[in-house]
A and B are shown apart, each in its own frame.
Chain A
């Protein structure tokens, strides 16, 4: 890969993180929230999503391809940084570190999550409330999934901030601060939605 194309790859990485991956994560967490309304509501929603027309096309072009590019290029970005929060313990420097830590963790978490659900579905197991109940009744897996969801919401919220800066939308320090507050609220709201849904399965 030519390094001359780094600028465009970085911009693509930033864009794909929000559209479609960020939008998909939000949609996924919202649909999961049906679990709080009971087993039947969740199974209906899950069936609806799993039986959308052109579902394989949607899965590949809205989820897998953008997600794989974002994940693998992101790992490259994460491991080319020389973190220095000991020297500069500022808020933004910590966010910079956490964005990379959560990103690498999410590659592991999402790989496991896809193996446990989507690949099992392809092998003939039905994805439903019971499946998630079985997975999450193991306390270790529950903690792993809670960490995964919170990492995802953090990575998305902080990524939304850096998207605004990377594309030159928020330029002044004041606008960057305001975007920070908005993304902190987004992080909290999405985390509550995601964790509530997880706890509903237990």
Chain B
């Protein structure tokens, strides 16, 4: 290779970012790979690169193509909408900085969920599961119920860590037991039960939440691979939550069978 071509190659390598994106036109069509090469700018993230592709949808072969579709919302890693598999790992594309990624950057949708188009997936399964486990605190009555019990400040600080969950689906994508053959609701949902059962008012429905964990697709499906806690972008102690709920469901199981005056509290 002559010196000149090496120099040219280095110059272009410095100026462009290469992408390999797994695309899918409709929910039922076959996925295919398409490469893109875009101009480098300082401080780019995957989303600003995808915006660049949308601005000028031409692939690496110079052919005009359809713009790549993706989902996004907050752009500060608190909503979870822009989650996708980047270089093999599920994460948020808003905090995936180009400077820190090996090229070509491979983007795939999180196939644990149904793909809507290109990188957009439908996470409705998780939102349905949130309803199933009653991931809220019921405060409505037919009259003013007044103040609830006080929550110790240190417990509030501890529970805040669990409340950082944004239902992004990364832990479900990382879990070997969330797939087509099981209906495991996933690590995030188990941690949500722990969060709402820890709240003094939420604890008034703790047995109902535990019953949902002991039903179809619940905590029994966990196989302790502990990938979830490694994958979680918010650093939520998911495996500790799972073990805590394992203990709570064990106690609930004995209460259900042998009987107890403390079914609720």
Q: B residues 216-240 with Cβ under 8 Å of A?
A: 216-227, 230-231, 237, 239-240
Q: A residues 48-63 with Cβ under 8 Å of B?
A: none
Give the shortest distance, in Å, between B182 (CB) and chain A (any CB). 5
**Chain A contact residue count (CB 8 A cutoff):** 34
The interface residues of chain A lying within 8 Å CB-to-CB of B55 are: none
- In the complex, whether A77 has a CB less than 8 A from a CB of chain B is yes
The interface residues of chain A lying within 8 Å CB-to-CB of B31 are: none
- In the complex, whether B244 has a CB less than 8 A from a CB of chain A is yes
Q: Across the interface, do B214 and A7 meet the contact criterion of CB distance under 8 Å?
A: yes
Q: A residues 136-194 with Cβ under 8 Å of B?
A: 162, 165-173, 176
The interface residues of chain A lying within 8 Å CB-to-CB of B247 are: 167-169, 171
Query: In the complex, which of the residues A11, A81, A93 contacts B226, with contact meaning CB atoms closer than 8 Å?
Result: A93
The interface residues of chain A lying within 8 Å CB-to-CB of B230 are: 88, 90
Q: Across the interface, do A171 and B176 meet the contact criterion of CB distance under 8 Å?
A: no
Q: B residues 128-181 with Cβ under 8 Å of A?
A: 174, 176-177, 179, 181
Query: In the complex, which of the residues A10, A80, A96, A168 contacts B243, with contact meaning CB atoms closer than 8 Å?
Result: A168
CB within 8 Å for A10 and B220 given contacts A80-B177, A87-B89, A166-B246: yes
Q: Across the interface, do A4 and B246 meet the contact criterion of CB distance under 8 Å?
A: no
In the complex, A170 Cα to B242 Cα: how many Å?
Answer: 11
Q: Across the interface, do A167 and B246 meet the contact criterion of CB distance under 8 Å?
A: yes
In the complex, A3 Cα to B221 Cα: how many Å?
Answer: 11
In the complex, A167 Cα to B242 Cα: how many Å?
Answer: 10
Chain A binding surface SS class: helix
The interface residues of chain B lying within 8 Å CB-to-CB of A171 are: 240, 243-244, 246-247
Q: Across the interface, do A165 and B215 meet the contact criterion of CB distance under 8 Å?
A: no
The interface residues of chain B lying within 8 Å CB-to-CB of A10 are: 220-221
- In the complex, whether A82 has a CB less than 8 A from a CB of chain B is yes
In the complex, A198 Cα to B225 Cα: how many Å?
Answer: 32
In the complex, A80 Cα to B239 Cα: how many Å?
Answer: 20
- In the complex, whether B259 has a CB less than 8 A from a CB of chain A is no
Q: Across the interface, do A90 and B220 meet the contact criterion of CB distance under 8 Å?
A: no
- In the complex, whether A121 has a CB less than 8 A from a CB of chain B is no
CB within 8 Å for A7 and B174 given contacts A90-B226, A162-B224: no
The interface residues of chain B lying within 8 Å CB-to-CB of A11 are: 220, 250, 253
Q: Nearest chain-B residue to A93 (Cβ)?
A: B225
Query: In the complex, which of the residues B177, B182, B216, B237 contacts A4, with contact meaning CB atoms closer than 8 Å?
Result: B216
CB within 8 Å for A88 and B174 given contacts A3-B217, A11-B220: yes
Q: B residues 238-262 with Cβ under 8 Å of A?
A: 239-240, 242-251, 253
The interface residues of chain B lying within 8 Å CB-to-CB of A81 are: 176-177, 179, 223
CB within 8 Å for A7 and B219 given contacts A83-B176, A84-B174, A167-B250: yes
* Residues of A in contact with B (beta carbons under 8 Å apart): 3-4, 6-11, 77, 79-84, 86-88, 90, 92-93, 95-96, 162, 165-173, 176
A-B contact pairs, 30 of them (CB 8 A): A4-B216, A6-B216, A6-B218, A6-B220, A7-B214, A7-B219, A10-B220, A10-B221, A11-B220, A11-B250, A80-B179, A80-B181, A80-B182, A84-B176, A87-B174, A88-B230, A92-B225, A92-B227, A93-B176, A95-B225, A96-B224, A96-B225, A162-B223, A165-B246, A166-B224, A168-B245, A168-B247, A171-B240, A171-B247, A172-B243
Q: Which 6 A-B pairs have the closest CB atoms?
A: A168-B247, A96-B225, A7-B220, A10-B220, A168-B246, A92-B226
Q: Can you add 6 more A-B contacts, CB < 8 Å, to A11-B250, A81-B223, A82-B179?
A: A80-B177, A80-B179, A81-B179, A165-B243, A165-B246, A167-B247
